[in-house]
């Protein structure tokens, strides 16, 4: 039975995501102004006809900068989740499939990594490797990998019990092939909600790190970086805070709504 | 009682094994990464002889295993050596910043419990009705707002509305305890909001689940009042599942405070961490990473034990 709430979650989620995705795609071909072009004549201008989101302390157009920043926020969340997913699959599949000591070893490692608060781990990793977008991506990928490993492991353990896998084992199909061709495709349903939630959490972390100055470095910018730059002018130029913060919230909220839609749809008879 | 004791002993052994692994991971991570504490202390112009002398003074020329054991011993005696950047003992630096972080965590936890429980009880009275839907939608939205962004928005709006509003004031607890608590309230609230949403969601579905159970129907059949059923039966049972949620919430609050205190310019662990990162102060960083992970592990341990006391079924699993 389909829950009608799942449809409203999907609609709300895709509308919110659409706003951020549209600004990202548009920014690839066009922005009203050059996002990095400074203009001393129009410093800290309030929103007006020429600059609908106002300008910053260098006279850069905030609307163009927000569009420009959406690219980095979206890219980092997707690239980070891709790495976490890949690592999670590479460890979770064998752990769930072979069981025994392989499982114990991999789970011990992933559980100990999960003892460290994620943001702390990511901050220290980036601090040591030097702040750059590339380092943020792999650090967050590593921090999120145990979550995906867990989901993959539990799913694999369940699918392993099915008859067709036993048939495949009897037919002496090599284990890596069974995992890649017969188990992995059936994990998509379990991994999809985890992936969407992962994108939202990744964005939460990345924006925090960029806010602390340990994420995206100039001249690149993400929503978190825009907020960090705006803080010194927040009382004089509130538009520098409000618009990037809204876009950040819209992106994360859109992802949450989509994941909630998936959850409500797949969950049977829940509250 | 035998089972309970056995359960607690096995949990303690698990705790010790986890702490050992956490300490080993922390030590190995800070040993393999490039960077040298002696170099940090002496600066880039130091000669090789000076570096060697300081290394042997700090014990950095000893075998890895000896260094690990001495670091491990230091963790338990709060003697982690001197910070490379500040030149003072690491344990003292951490202790100095602890009041802000702990104060924020406690106030945030109070917000979470005081706000989320009543709302969950109200919401669960008539699931699916208007009030429940309003709370649930609000919960979803609040859950998605990063605390630091929320703090920035609140400060921006507050300073636009009230000309006297100033964020970033700080009073030391020893000078002005009221002022100290006062300056922590807004940041704690910002950290708490998404966690209020999370706790609300769990408590609400837990209460609804209890309400549809046989024993509640039975109690209703016996003519017990709704309030009595809620207070004496439903809430204690819902609390069992909320213990785990609260332990997760607390560790999230602790991690969240690292960023939010930066918005409000509060001298807590977050600022110390950033200072350590900026100056590549490995003795300080490794100590902080271990202790923060230590608190997290301890929280989950406490949740396991409290959960087993509240719900004897957990012990039998």
Instruction: Please confirm whether the linkage preceding A8 is cis (ω < 30° from 0).
Output: no
Interchain CB contact of B205 with A (< 8 Å) = yes
- B241 vs A236, more confident: A236
- Which of B144, B250, B278, B294 has the highest number of chain A CBs within 10 A, making it the mutation to test binding with A? B144
> Which of A120, A241, A255 lies closest to B156 in CB terms?
A241
Which residues on A lie below 8 Å from B204 (Cβ)? 271
User: Does domain B90-277 sit in CATH 1.10.150.120?
Assistant: no
Residue segments in chain A with a per-residue pLDDT below the cut of 50: 1, 268-271
Interchain CB contact of B146 with A (< 8 Å) = yes
ipTM score for this prediction: 0.85
User: B43 to chain A nearest CA, in Å?
Assistant: 17
Is it the case that residue B1 has pLDDT exceeding 60? Answer: no
The number of residues in chain B equals 317
pLDDT on residue B17: 87
Reading the block at residue A235, the tokens are 């009382």
- Close Cβ partners of B274 (under 8 Å, ≥ 6 residues apart): A212, B262
Q: For residue A161, how many other CB atoms are within 10 A of its CB?
A: 8
Q: E strand or H helix at B69, and its extent?
A: helix B64-77
CA B25, CA B32: separation in Å to the nearest integer? 11
HSE toward the beta carbon, residue A133, CA cutoff 13 A: 19
Q: What is the pLDDT of residues B258-277, one digit of tens each?
A: 899 888 889 999 989 988 88
HSE toward the beta carbon, residue A263, CA cutoff 13 A: 15
- B75 vs A248, more confident: A248
Number of H helices and E strands in chain B, helices first, is: 14, 0
Cβ-based contacts under 8 A for chains A and B: 118
Selection from B211, B250, B188 nearest residue B132 by Cα: B211
pLDDT on residue B34: 67
Is it the case that residue B315 has pLDDT exceeding 70? Answer: no
Q: E strand or H helix at B305, and its extent?
A: helix B282-310
Domains assigned to chain A: 4-29+53-267 (1.10.3720.10)
The three-class DSSP label of residue A267 is coil
Which residues on A lie below 8 Å from B33 (Cβ)? 128-129
pLDDT on residue A270: 41
- Close Cβ partners of A73 (under 8 Å, ≥ 6 residues apart): A20, A203, A206, A207, A222, A223, A224, A248, A251
CA A39, CA A27: separation in Å to the nearest integer? 20
CA A64, CA A184: separation in Å to the nearest integer? 41
User: Are A153 and A107 contacting, i.e. CB atoms less than 8 angstroms apart?
Assistant: yes
DSSP letters for B139-204: HHHHHTS-HHHHHHHHHHHHHHH-TT--------TTT-HHHHHHHHHHHHHHHHHHHHHHHHHHHH
Interchain CB contact of B12 with A (< 8 Å) = no
Average pLDDT over residues B204-230: 84
CA A114, CA B245: separation in Å to the nearest integer? 16
Selection from A237, A234, A236, A209 nearest residue A223 by Cα: A209
Is it the case that residue B22 has pLDDT exceeding 70? Answer: yes
Reading the block at residue A194, the tokens are 């985890």
pLDDT on residue B105: 93
Q: Both ends of chain B: CA-CA distance in Å? A: 15
Which residues on B lie below 8 Å from A271 (Cβ)? 127, 204-205, 208-209
Question: Is B155 in contact with A245 (Cβ distance < 8 A)?
Answer: no
> Which of A111, A119, A260 lies closest to B255 in CB terms?
A119
User: Are A41 and A60 contacting, i.e. CB atoms less than 8 angstroms apart?
Assistant: no
Which residues on B lie below 8 Å from A248 (Cβ)? 146, 149
CA A247, CA A202: separation in Å to the nearest integer? 15
pLDDT on residue A233: 86
Provide the chain B residues 111-140 that lie in CB contact (below 8 A) with chain A.
127, 140
Q: For chain B, what are the domain ranges?
A: 90-277
- A68 vs B307, more confident: A68
CA A5, CA B73: separation in Å to the nearest integer? 55
Question: Is A120 in contact with B289 (Cβ distance < 8 A)?
Answer: yes
User: Are B184 and B106 contacting, i.e. CB atoms less than 8 angstroms apart?
Assistant: no
Q: Identify any residues that bridge with A61 across adjacent strands, giving them in sequence order.
A: A55
Provide the chain B residues 154-173 that lie in CB contact (below 8 A) with chain A.
155-157, 159-160
Q: What is the pLDDT of residues B141-176, one digit of tens each?
A: 888 889 999 999 988 888 888 776 776 678 887 778
User: Are B186 and B103 contacting, i.e. CB atoms less than 8 angstroms apart?
Assistant: no
CA A173, CA A77: separation in Å to the nearest integer? 36
- B102 vs B82, more confident: B102
Which residues on A lie below 8 Å from B34 (Cβ)? 128
Q: What is the pLDDT of residues B32-62, one digit of tens each?
A: 776 677 777 777 777 777 777 777 777 777 7
User: Are B143 and B238 contacting, i.e. CB atoms less than 8 angstroms apart?
Assistant: no
Q: What is the pLDDT of residues B113-152, one digit of tens each?
A: 999 999 998 888 888 888 888 888 888 888 888 999 999 9
- Which of B259, B266, B274 has the highest number of chain A CBs within 10 A, making it the mutation to test binding with A? B259
pLDDT on residue B216: 83
pLDDT on residue A253: 93
CA A136, CA B19: separation in Å to the nearest integer? 27
């Amino acid at each position: 039975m389909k829950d009608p709430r799942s449809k409203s979650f999907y609609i709300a989620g895709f509308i919110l995501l659409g706003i951020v995705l549209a600004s990202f795609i548009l920014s690839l071909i066009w922005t009203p102004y050059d996002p990095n072009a400074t203009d001393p004549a129009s410093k800290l201008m309030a929103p007006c006809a020429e600059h609908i989101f106002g300008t910053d302390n260098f006279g850069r157009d905030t609307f163009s900068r927000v569009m420009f920043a959406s690219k980095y926020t979206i890219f980092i969340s997707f690239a980070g989740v891709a790495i976490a997913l890949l690592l999670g699959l590479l460890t979770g599949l064998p752990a769930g499939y072979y069981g025994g000591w392989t499982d114990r070893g991999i789970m011990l490692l992933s559980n100990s990594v999960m003892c460290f608060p994620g943001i702390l781990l990511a901050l220290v990793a980036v601090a040591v490797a030097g702040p750059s977008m590339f380092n943020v991506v792999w650090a967050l990928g590593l921090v999120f990998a145990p979550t995906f490993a867990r989901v993959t492991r539990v799913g694999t353990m369940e699918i392993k019990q099915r008859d067709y896998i036993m048939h495949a084992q009897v037919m002496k199909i090599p284990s890596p092939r069974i995992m890649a061709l017969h188990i992995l495709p059936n994990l998509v349903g379990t991994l999809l909600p985890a992936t969407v939630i992962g994108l939202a959490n990744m964005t939460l972390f990345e924006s925090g790190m960029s806010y602390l100055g340990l994420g995206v470095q100039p001249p690149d910018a993400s929503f978190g970086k825009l907020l960090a730059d705006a803080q010194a002018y927040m009382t004089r130029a509130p538009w520098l805070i409000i618009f990037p913060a809204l876009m950040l919230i819209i992106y994360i909220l859109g992802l949450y709504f989509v994941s909630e839609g998936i959850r409500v749809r797949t969950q049977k008879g829940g509250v | 009682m035998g089972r309970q004791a056995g359960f607690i002993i096995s949990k303690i052994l698990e705790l010790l094994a986890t702490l050992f692994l956490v300490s080993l991971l922390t030590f190995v991570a800070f040993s393999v990464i490039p960077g040298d504490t002696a170099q940090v202390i002496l600066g880039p112009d130091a000669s090789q002889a000076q570096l060697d002398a300081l290394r042997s003074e700090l014990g950095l020329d000893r075998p890895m295993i000896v260094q690990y054991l001495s670091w491990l011993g230091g963790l338990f005696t709060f003697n982690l050596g001197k910070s490379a950047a500040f030149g003072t003992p690491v344990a003292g630096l951490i202790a100095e910043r602890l009041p802000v972080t702990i104060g924020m965590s406690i106030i945030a936890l109070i917000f979470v419990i005081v706000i989320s429980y009543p709302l969950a009880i109200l919401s669960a009275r008539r699931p699916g009705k208007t009030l429940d839907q309003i709370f649930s939608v609000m919960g979803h939205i609040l859950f998605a707002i990063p605390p630091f962004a929320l703090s920035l928005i609140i400060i921006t709006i507050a300073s636009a509305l009230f000309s006297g509003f100033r964020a970033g004031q700080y009073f030391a607890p020893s000078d002005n305890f009221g002022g100290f608590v006062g300056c922590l309230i807004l940041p704690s609230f910002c950290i708490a909001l998404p966690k209020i949403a999370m706790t609300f969601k769990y408590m609400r579905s837990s209460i609804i689940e209890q309400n549809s159970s046989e024993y509640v129907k039975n109690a209703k059949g016996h003519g017990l009042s709704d309030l009595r059923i809620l207070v004496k039966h439903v809430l204690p049972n819902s609390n069992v599942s909320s213990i785990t949620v609260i332990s997760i919430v607390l560790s999230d609050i602790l991690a969240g405070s690292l960023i939010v205190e930066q918005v409000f310019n509060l001298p807590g662990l977050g600022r110390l961490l950033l200072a350590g990162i900026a100056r590549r102060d490995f003795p300080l960083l490794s100590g902080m990473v271990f202790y923060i992970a230590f608190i997290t592990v301890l929280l989950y341990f406490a949740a396991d034990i409290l959960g087993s006391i509240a719900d004897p079924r957990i012990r039998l699993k």
